[in-house]
Amino acid sequence: MDKRKECSTVVDKPRLISILGSTGSIGSNTIDLIARTPEHYIISALACKQNARLLAQQAKKLQAVFVAIEDKNAWPVLRNALAGTGIEAAAGTEAVLEAAKRPAEWTMCSIVGAAGLAPTLEAVRRGHTVALANKEALVCAGSLFIREAMRTGCQILPVDSEHNAIFQLFDSRKREGIEKITLTASGGPFRTLSRKEMACKTPSQAAAHPNWSMGTKVSIDSATIMNKGLEIIEAHYLFAIPEVQIDVLIHPESVVHSMVSYIDGSVIAQLSSPDMRTPIAYCLAWPKRMDTIIKNLDLVSIGQLSFFALDNNRFPAISLAREALRAKGDAACVMNAANEVAVEAFVAGRIGFTEISSVVYETMQRCPTEDIDNLESVFRSNAKGRRIADDIISDFTGVSIADRRRYLLLPNFSMKSVAVMHNKKI
């Protein structure tokens, strides 16, 4: 009997599922996997921000019970598209929260950015199983989310390919035998460039990831390697492992997704094609496995795999993330907020590529660390980080990108001092 077919029985009875952020890259891949065997699932709720047409199409295809759209301007399109289908629908931030509260045994949390925090927390509080793609939940409020998951017995399954790999390899019964975990990073499209060469790259060049097809924000984070910085923070909370035991290794082929090193010298790695449908399928079928159309790796045709040490000088984001973890409190939340603002400013042409890490660094310097106790304090810290990052970017109004780049190549860059230097013509 075909082993792939034999193992493809995912569930014994249909599973009640919700997808928050269903129209994005992760959400759409989840829908595609579900649509292969729709009889295994009942779709409780779908939610997105504004893509009413795609949301309606998904809801009709999978016969969802409830759909929510955050942007009220998109409501008329959604309402018309669902007229006569019997599918319940609502608009606004509360509607997205309602989608997260609807009964579900398994929820994909894939809303991008800080907007995903409250819905993800609702899903964790409801218990059962949460497939976690939204990095910000653990980056901004790791202790809070893990505490709530332990309280409700919620099983968090990491969707990020690196954490998903570690989840498959990490033997928590032998925790004392684990020496370190290693997160691999492709190095992004600018892996071999100097900081000077990176400085003139455009948003579309930064978003063109060599191996993975992902949303714009996460692709640009891969180019700055801030994505890996965020992943160090995620890994710290997911696996309760100190930051010093989390390594990063550049691996351009993106075939080895991560590794766990044991004290006896064993290193266990997880390999697969760079296709997010593999970790999503793992989460969807967990604790079983499901058949997908993704081909198994052909290592002979790949031929060779390469690994390089990370250059922290060219890619300062990892050092910033480690500093944020060591600082505790809201430092990682502030860092994440500054990064979001800086990436938005880069996409809008307001700052250059290498200035993204400069804005994050300067924001962290200006923000004293505060405690995070609840979601309200997360939102305050997020707003604080966003405001300060925005102020820093505004300091540059009237200063040409070319002039700023000259100064930002200095090792001890400081956005404010650059602006001051420029105005004084030093």
Q: Which residues are annotated as a binding site for Mn(2+)?
A: 160, 162, 231
Q: Which residue is nearest to ligand NAP (CB)?
A: 24
- What pairs with residue 309 in β-bridges? 249
The nearer residue to ligand NAP, 48 or 199, going by C-beta atoms, is 48
Beta strand 155-158 with 66-69: parallel, antiparallel or unpaired? unpaired
In the complex, the smallest distance separating the C-beta of residue 350 from ligand NAP, rounded to whole angstroms, is 20
In the complex, the smallest distance separating the C-beta of residue 47 from ligand NAP, rounded to whole angstroms, is 5
The nearer residue to ligand NAP, 79 or 416, going by C-beta atoms, is 79
The nearer residue to ligand NAP, 104 or 392, going by C-beta atoms, is 104
- What pairs with residue 246 in β-bridges? 181
Strand order in the sheet with 15-20: 88-91, 66-69, 41-48, 15-20, 106-109, 129-132, 155-158
d(CA 291, CA 61): 21
The nearer residue to ligand NAP, 48 or 206, going by C-beta atoms, is 48
- Binding site members for NADPH: 23-26, 51, 134, 136, 215
34, 96, 425 from 81: Cα distances, Å: 22, 18, 59
C-beta pairs of 361-365 under 8 Å, 24+ apart in sequence: 361/316, 361/320, 361/413, 361/414, 362/392, 362/414, 362/415, 362/416, 363/334, 363/335, 363/337, 363/338, 363/388, 363/389, 363/392, 364/320, 364/323, 364/324, 364/327, 364/331, 364/334, 364/335, 364/338, 365/414
In the complex, the smallest distance separating the C-beta of residue 406 from ligand NAP, rounded to whole angstroms, is 33
Residue 173 burial (CB count, 10 A) = 7
Give the footprint of ligand NAP on this chain (CB under 6 A). Answer: 21-27, 47-51, 70, 96, 110-112, 115, 133-135, 160, 212, 214-215, 218, 276
d(CA 258, CA 221): 18
d(CA 61, CA 165): 31
The nearer residue to ligand NAP, 99 or 419, going by C-beta atoms, is 99
In the complex, the smallest distance separating the C-beta of residue 31 from ligand NAP, rounded to whole angstroms, is 10
The nearer residue to ligand NAP, 260 or 276, going by C-beta atoms, is 276
In the complex, the smallest distance separating the C-beta of residue 334 from ligand NAP, rounded to whole angstroms, is 18
In the complex, the smallest distance separating the C-beta of residue 30 from ligand NAP, rounded to whole angstroms, is 9
In the complex, the smallest distance separating the C-beta of residue 72 from ligand NAP, rounded to whole angstroms, is 12
- Binding site members: 23-26, 51, 134-136, 160-162, 186, 209, 215, 222, 227-228, 231
The nearer residue to ligand NAP, 27 or 352, going by C-beta atoms, is 27
102, 124, 135, 152, 238 from 316: Cα distances, Å: 41, 33, 19, 37, 24
117, 310, 359, 402 from 248: Cα distances, Å: 26, 7, 23, 32
The nearer residue to ligand NAP, 145 or 396, going by C-beta atoms, is 145
Q: Is the peptide bond before 287 cis (omega within 30 degrees of 0)?
A: yes
In the complex, the smallest distance separating the C-beta of residue 139 from ligand NAP, rounded to whole angstroms, is 9
